[in-house]
Amino acid sequence: MKKISDYEGKNILVLGAGKSGTNAAKTLLKLGATVTLNDAKPENELEGLDELESLGITVVAGGHPDTILNAQFDLLVKNPGIPYDNPVVQRALANHTKIITEVELAYQITDAEIIAVTGSNGKTTTTTMIAKILNEEREKGTAYAAGNIGIPATQVAMNATKDDTIVMELSSFMLLGIDQLHPHVAVLTNIFENHLDYHKTRDNYVNAKMRITMNQTADDYFVVNFDNEEWQNLSQRSKAQVIPFSRTADITKGAYENNGKLYYNDEFIMNADDIKVPGKQNVENALAAIAVAKVMGKSNLAITNVLETFTGVKHRTQFVLEADGRRYYNDSKATDIEATQMALEGFDKPIVLLAGGLDRGYTFERLVPQFKDHVKGAVLFGETADLLADALQQAGITNFKKVTDVKAAVPVAYSMSDAGDIILLSPANASWDQYPNFEVRGDQFIEAVEQFTQTKGV
């Protein structure tokens, strides 16, 4: 950890007492700052409160009182998910107080090389693949995955050395709060229409994503999905060397698929079918990881050792179990239409789909082609059950039922299936109408599958 002096004697507010917030607060304290940590949750819902206060961090819980709103702070470190219309953030903006997110602080204190990954879908899987490949045949240091993947970046940065690599998964929310963050390699997996409730417009969302490359120079690399003309055009905004990857475009530079084989600059790497995790989206994720690996000087053996054995990240087309000829997959992270499209296209066997969730004001006609080609039946739940039913009927599918939640969906899905089928949770919606997050939704699906198959003896 670099002992920077930027924050010595500064009065700093950390807004949000989750993992990233508490680690940011501890980091700033070590850097000589006076730190106040504020969270809207009551004290009894905050973890590690006694430890934080014993370190000398002032914790203000249960809301945003006038003592916070009217105080003068030199810096606000904001939890990425807290919107900019929050009263504390609004007051900071009015006072021209600088606002950053925890990943920016992590960059400022680390000696490690940074690889950054963003995109609407595939971030976590790609980040994990890259870190695993970089750890193959490694003689010095370690590659750590951190950031939006669930491990606070400052927690890793505090202990990382110049021999290490931090592979940061960065959300659009995180990227709005960066200033100096300068990855040697940046990755854009894709950009769809997402988080418009937060960003208000698609342009704002795209611009937030593109901040990942704003500090890069000609000595750096920007790895970009070339399967879409918009993404190709976005790559021109970067000053870095553009390394394309593509599953469908006609390219011979970068990482690409051709007739079921994966190449890098005309060099054969592996067969696409040898990737352990299923689905076209994971071929794309693998191509992104291959591009980064080759830029970083990794061997083909290091790449194939990982991609031929890596079984996926939890909640992302995660294989749960096989019973009575049915294979169950948990894709709870599919919180938008595009993710579910990719999941459905990734299987060549009939699918019974479990879907539904938070109503964000859109309909599901875009799923009709995938429903026609891949879905034999569906079990629907949540606020969007009726909207999904409309799309299924447009696809000519009448074999669907509505249930209360994910747990109730599992036995119904089994009753619709036959041996050889796939039973897939891929909701195409956020979870917040019924669950605190997609992880809880996925965990309840896994638990229901395990209980149902054990009880039924299948």
Positions at the binding site for ATP: 119-125
Strand runs labelled E in 92-188: 98-100, 113-118, 143-147, 165-169, 185-188
Write down the residue that tokens 């019924």 correspond to: 434
Distance of CA 293 to the CA centre of its chain: 20
Strand runs labelled E in 247-360: 255-258, 261-264, 267-271, 318-323, 326-330, 351-355
d(CA 50, CA 59): 10
d(CA 355, CA 114): 36
Binding residues: 119-125
- 446, exposed or middle or buried, with CB in 10 Å at 0-12, 13-18, 19+? buried
| Kind of pairing between the strands at 267-271 and 318-323 | unpaired
Q: What is residue 74's three-state secondary structure?
A: coil
Residue 361 CB-half CA count within 13 A: 5
Write down the residue that tokens 């006038």 correspond to: 66
- Rg of the chain over all Cα atoms, to the nearest angstrom: 23
Q: What is residue 16's three-state secondary structure?
A: coil
d(CA 56, CA 35): 8
Long-range contacts of 59-63 (CB under 8 A, 24+ apart): 59/17, 60/36, 61/17
Strand runs labelled E in 389-445: 400-402, 422-425
- What tokens were used for 421? 């089928």
d(CA 17, CA 25): 9
Q: Helix, strand, coil: what percent of the chain each, to 5?
A: 40, 20, 40
d(CA 40, CA 50): 17
